[in-house]
Structure 1
Amino acid sequence: MKYILTMVFVLVLSNISLAQKVFTVEYENQADVKVFVVKYENQADLNVFKIKNQNQSGDNDGKWFFTEYANQAKKKIYFVKYENQADLKIYFVEYENQAGWKESKKKHLMY
């Protein structure tokens, strides 16, 4: 019985620690963060790598898993049309090791 409780506790904690699960909402007022995708990497606040499995998602390090449902996500994002509407500017990278923050001043947006 003690073993089962320990395993349940570990599983719950491991689910909580995965912070970069995001969901794209349809309307701006539903979002926690408004995001704009820039054309060039040097314009971004955050380089984002889209991962395929939620167990690979990072802890606010630019590795994002896009969830199917809003209640599965840590943050709800809305993609804006214009750069001046955004809270956060991102650039999608091809490789996982390229993901990460350029500056830490906007890092709080994704916690």
Structure 2
Amino acid sequence: MRTLITILIICSAFLIIPVSVSAQKVFSCDHSYEADVKVFVAKYTYEADLLVYRVKYSYEAGQNDGKWFFCKYNYEADKTIYFCDYSYEADLIICFVDNSYEAKWREKSMQYLMY
């Protein structure tokens, strides 16, 4: 009986606490003024704020963990990004990685940009 009550309390806590989920579906726009976030792609992982893994399907997109799905249309995306030519123009510096387990934030203070 005691374990049942504990389980019910834990389950009800998850219903009360609001959970913020932000999928990483992005759309690459043609002009910087259209973008929510301006992004520069670095050559090396140590230069990046975020290591990004490009997923093939939208259901594989992460919750602000660096797994991005690129949408065909801007209305499908949660964030619109613009790829800058120079790092000083960008809000966020990323580096694309080859494996999903490598995707992560290196600079946690920049996470707010993708919420």
TM bucket (normalised to shorter chain) is: 0.7 to 0.9
**Deviations, residues 59-93 of structure 1 (Å, cap 9, x unaligned):** 00000000010000000000000000000000000
Is the Cα–Cα contact under 8 Å of residues 35 and 80 in structure 1 kept in the other structure? yes
For these two proteins, the number of residue pairs brought into alignment is 96
Q: What is the rounded CA distance, in whole Å, between the counterparts of 2:90 and 2:105 in structure 1?
A: 16
Is the Cα–Cα contact under 8 Å of residues 36 and 80 in structure 1 kept in the other structure? yes
Within the candidate set 80, 84, 95, 1:76 is matched to 80
**Deviations, residues 37-72 of structure 1 (Å, cap 9, x unaligned):** 001100000000000010010000000000010000
Q: Which position in structure 1 is the counterpart of 2:51?
A: 47
In structure 2, runs of 5+ residues without a counterpart are: 1-20
- Partner secondary structure for residue 69 of structure 2: strand
- Partner secondary structure for residue 81 of structure 1: coil
Q: Which position in structure 2 is the counterpart of 1:35?
A: 39
Q: Which position in structure 1 is the counterpart of 2:29?
A: 25
Alignment partner of 1:64 is 2:33 = no
Q: Which position in structure 2 is the counterpart of 1:7?
A: none
**TM-score w.r.t. structure 2 length?**
0.81
User: Shift in Å at residue 18 of structure 1?
Assistant: 5.6
Q: Which position in structure 2 is the counterpart of 1:93?
A: 97
The residue type equivalent to 1:35 in the other structure is V
Q: What is the rounded CA distance, in whole Å, between the counterparts of 2:77 and 2:22 in structure 1?
A: 10
Q: What is the rounded CA distance, in whole Å, between the counterparts of 1:103 and 1:64 in structure 2?
A: 17
| Moved >3 Å (runs of 4+) | none
- Partner secondary structure for residue 101 of structure 2: helix
Q: What is the rounded CA distance, in whole Å, between the counterparts of 1:22 and 1:108 in structure 2?
A: 15
**TM-score w.r.t. structure 1 length?**
0.84
